[in-house]
Structure 1
Amino acid sequence: MSAGRVVAGRYELAALLGQGGMGQVWTAYDQRLDRRVAVKLLRPDAVAGASAADETRRRFVRECRVTAQVDHPGLVTVHDAGSDGDDLYLVMQHVEGADLADHLAEHEPYPWPWAVAVAAQLCAALSAVHAVPIVHRDLKPRNVMVRPDGTVTVLDLGVASVLDRDTTRLTRTGSPIGSPAYMAPEQAMGGAVGPYTDLYALGVLLHELLSGNVPFAGTTALGVLHRHLYEPPLPVRQVRPEVPEALEALVLRLLAKDPAQRPGSAQEVYEALAPLLPSRGAPAGHPLDPTRPFLRPHAPWPDRAATPPPVHAPAPVPRQASAPGRPDVAAAVDEAKRLLGEGRITQAVDILGAILPAAAARHGEGSPVVRILRKQYAATLMDDGQYRRALPELRQLAEERAAEAGPADPQALVFRQEAALCLEQLGEVAAALAEYRAVLPYLESPYGTGDPARAAEIRRRVDDLLRLPSGAGRA
């Protein structure tokens, strides 16, 4: 499988995100709806061998069916599923942000209120999962994303089992499913699993967030599983004395060897965490602060009004490949134009946005090549309605052009007018009015450098803004 392949005549693979026992996960583009998605691919005979291919296929089909039943903001949305040649595919929501393992690595020691907020959000998602009923069976930091607004999303229900007899027969035929460091004793022994199994994994994850390490580590999987079965976990306050005693006690309950000694449900765990959550009005920190949903529930994404949201989707490779380490700007622009002609704006935006930093590093920020590329990028963002991201590009273009040719330069004025249009579309009326009014004197100049037609258009825009019911921007 390679980038550029189109699955089911619709989903174009862009970049491989990861692979494991159940297949590969790719970022992709839905050509029909022009959006980023994640596509999970599985070839049954390659994963399980020819003799077990049918069983693996049934497991995968069940995964698609059951995962699609769960509707919760803390879980990825399933868009589509089916088969394409020898491959099975599952199409899911593309989630922006950082996975919890990377988030932990970037913030050590991890603030204990963040750990509480992560665990509380996971409890909400697990409650929805367990109600189906499903057991996730592989809860770990790599399967949890912290989104830019601080909300936590659980990934990969692909190894979940439906709690019925058919599922038990299917999953008992092979090795235990899960990751040894997060595997409950009963799961390691091949016994019956249930919601209590996920709560044990939650305890491991919470212990890791608080202490910086999983409670049971080792050089081999068998060694790790032996420690899960027979060794007590280290109380986290021995490593982090500032952790509340109630939180340490909850972690120890979650890590009980006997499932009967663990909390009875994810709801019960949430209720134990609730008193430790930060109160409304407490200061929020990093933009990916997982306490934010509790401090400002359903609030707009942080800094959305000031900073363009990051794009983490890898750009597709242009059809004309360049030499290693040397971005082929012309090929990227041609590919973006081709995609725009087909109405695939999201892909065009990603291509231009990905090659722009590389082109600037190679040619210099103020080079003609980079300026042309930035202009195309800004125009494409505006075509896609992404005015917040287009605005800084237009401002940079206007500043560079004015520095070279003066503030009355026609092209600099075009960039400023487009920036004002972005501000207008974003609802920043006062700023848009100020920008339009700053441009007008140059366009109405009596010395032959003006542009009466454009000046009249701006006058109309100003009049329209001044008629807004709120009166915003009137000075």
Structure 2
Amino acid sequence: MTMATGRMVAGRYELSTIIGQGGMGQVWTGYDQRLDRRVAVKLLRPDKVAGQEADELRRRFVRECRVTARVDHPGLVTVHDAGSEGEELFLVMQYVDGADLADHLAEHDPYPWQWSVAVAAQLCAVLSAVHAVPIVHRDLKPRNVMVKQDGTVTVLDLGVASVMDTDTTRLTHTGSPIGSPAYMAPEQAMGGAVGPYTDLYALGVLLHELLSGQVPFTGTTALGVLHRHLYEPPVPVRQLRPEVPEALEALVLRLLAKDPQHRPASAQETYEQLLPLLPGRGMPTGAPLDPTRPFLRPHAPWPDRARVPAPRPQPATAVGRPDVAAAVDEVKRLLGEGRVTQAVDILGAILPAAAAQHGEHSPVVRTLRKQYAATLMDDGQYRRALPELRRLADERATESGQADPQSLRFRYDAAQCLEQLGEPAAALAEYRALLPYYENQYVSGDPEIALEVRRRIGHLLLALGDRPAAQDTLVRLLHDVERLRGPGHPLAADIRRTLQWLGQVHV
């Protein structure tokens, strides 16, 4: 282990020992001097793994940390602090005492299948809470899972893959894809729309590895591994380990379905299918870090959590009527300081008072509601933003017609919310309904939105498993992008790479 020389981060966190190192940076143990506690500090060097502007990456990093910190679940590592210092981004987390799942697997050969079920069930509980936010982990793998002393598992690195690059197939200048090819779902490898179904595929890879001792697809290059994910069926685990229950093998094969629509509908459903295979009442084995220990029933997901919208904060009424103007000024100040979550709460609280003072359809209230919806989206609160955007779109369309540009923009943002919420079919329907309006606006000299809508349609078709339709959409889009923007345009390169996966072009 490498010892630090007393380096301080953010004037508060003293680095101690390196416990992990990779292409994205380093992980250190350290001490929070203010609270006198042990922490883990992840240092990321964005210039080494992403080609985008550093300032934009920092903004996305802080936003993603803010969103992930909203998830409240005992199976998720707690985020204490985040920010940037010099060329590095830092993330301060709870220190987890235990072994990562890759080491745990290596130390137990063969890995008891009951342990595999226990680990997978706990991961389902975590994913259920994460997907309810909604967040997609994007990089679930054994190195990102810790087995603690009490047998519970803790998931690390939530949101980091999303921050480093939303296009997980883009290669770094070292030639490695961002993400982990061995655990990457077909739609993720091709650059399609990711969703909860993408994490369920990674869970299937992880469960296959625990049961058989090996990942389902290997290769000498990252691209070779991704190609096998796309086109080869996995070997059923009972061929490698006959004592595995048939129901467990069938679940692994469903999780590893190439078509996302053929996988289980949710982490909650996957948990329920694992439930009959969990160990019953009794004593744990006594082995170190036994992941069956937390059962009878682990931290079970809350079945209806994802369907219940977060409550809108109520306005304070302790001292007469709320001061709308003062609240608006406060929101501007908070947004200027990057305190988006607090700004969202104030906007949500002040809207009823503003409607009472100025009228529900007044310009003041309309402006506040637009700001509220935009801020909810910026804060990653897509479940709450969606009904606000739909209402704004309907009102504008009623007043100014279906082709009103502002109404179309609200509908476009609503479609993005549906995409983020893991509802690809609904998002696809909305984008398809919007496309004729944007294509009719080519005469205005601004085809960018139409091209982007077509790109999203292609990626959603991949997520829905309709490769022929995706291929047709993207071939036509490539032709138009090359005609309008030239063959060297970045969008043309992205489309060409996806089509290469589909076997249609050779780059």
TM over 0.5: yes
Match of 2:435 in 1: none
TM-superposed deviation, 1:84: 2.5
Quick check: 2:169–2:189 contact (8 Å CA) kept in 1?
Answer: no
Quick check: 2:98–2:148 contact (8 Å CA) kept in 1?
Answer: yes
Match of 1:13 in 2: 15
Quick check: 1:135–1:160 contact (8 Å CA) kept in 2?
Answer: no
Q: Which letter maps to 1:230?
A: Y
Match of 1:234 in 2: 235
Q: 1:85 to 1:221 in 2, by over 3 A?
A: closer
Match of 2:35 in 1: 33
Write the mapping of 1:84-123 to structure 2, written as runs, cut at 5 A.
84-123=85-124
TM-superposed deviation, 1:297: 6.8
C-alpha distance in 2 between matches for 1:275 and 1:9: 50
| Between 142-151 and 18-27, the greater mean CA deviation after superposition | 18-27
Match of 2:206 in 1: 205
C-alpha distance in 2 between matches for 1:26 and 1:55: 25
TM-superposed deviation, 1:282: 4.7
TM-superposed deviation, 1:296: 8.7
Q: Which letter maps to 1:24?
A: Q
C-alpha distance in 1 between matches for 2:248 and 2:297: 23
C-alpha distance in 1 between matches for 2:144 and 2:108: 18
| Between 135-144 and 87-96, the greater mean CA deviation after superposition | 87-96
User: SS at 1:134's partner residue?
Assistant: coil
Match of 1:196 in 2: 197
Q: 1:3 to 1:17 in 2, by over 3 A?
A: farther
C-alpha distance in 1 between matches for 2:123 and 2:282: 23
Q: 1:62 to 1:99 in 2, by over 3 A?
A: same
| Between 137-146 and 79-88, the greater mean CA deviation after superposition | 79-88
Quick check: 1:97–1:146 contact (8 Å CA) kept in 2?
Answer: yes
The percent identity for this pair of structures is: 84
> For each residue in 1:59-84, what CA deviation from the matched residue of structure 2 results, as whole angstroms up to 9, or x when unmatched?
32122111111111000001112223
TM-superposed deviation, 1:87: 2.6
C-alpha distance in 2 between matches for 1:123 and 1:174: 28
Quick check: 2:41–2:91 contact (8 Å CA) kept in 1?
Answer: yes
Quick check: 1:134–1:161 contact (8 Å CA) kept in 2?
Answer: no
User: SS at 1:14's partner residue?
Assistant: strand
Quick check: 1:138–1:177 contact (8 Å CA) kept in 2?
Answer: no
User: SS at 1:81's partner residue?
Assistant: strand
User: SS at 2:126's partner residue?
Assistant: helix
C-alpha distance in 1 between matches for 2:22 and 2:169: 19
Q: 1:197 to 1:173 in 2, by over 3 A?
A: closer
Q: 1:6 to 1:283 in 2, by over 3 A?
A: closer
TM-superposed deviation, 1:232: 0.5
- Count matched residues: 292
Q: 1:288 to 1:296 in 2, by over 3 A?
A: farther
Unaligned runs of 5+ in 1: 299-475
Unaligned runs of 5+ in 2: 172-176, 300-507
> For each residue in 1:237-286, what CA deviation from the matched residue of structure 2 results, as whole angstroms up to 9, or x when unmatched?
11111110000000000000000000000000000000000001254331
Match of 2:352 in 1: none
Write the mapping of 1:317-332 to structure 2, written as runs, cut at 5 A.
none
C-alpha distance in 2 between matches for 1:100 and 1:124: 17
> For each residue in 1:200-220, what CA deviation from the matched residue of structure 2 results, as whole angstroms up to 9, or x when unmatched?
000000000000100001111
- Which entry has the higher C-alpha Rg, 1 or 2? 1
Match of 2:47 in 1: 45
User: SS at 1:74's partner residue?
Assistant: coil
C-alpha distance in 2 between matches for 1:232 and 1:173: 21
Query: TM-score, normalized by length of structure 1?
Result: 0.58
Q: Which letter maps to 1:39?
A: V
C-alpha distance in 1 between matches for 2:293 and 2:249: 23
TM-superposed deviation, 1:6: 0.6
Match of 1:287 in 2: 288
> For each residue in 1:362-398, what CA deviation from the matched residue of structure 2 results, as whole angstroms up to 9, or x when unmatched?
xxxxxxxxxxxxxxxxxxxxxxxxxxxxxxxxxxxxx
Match of 2:84 in 1: 83
TM-superposed deviation, 1:89: 1.4
Q: Which letter maps to 1:107?
A: H
C-alpha distance in 1 between matches for 2:238 and 2:297: 29
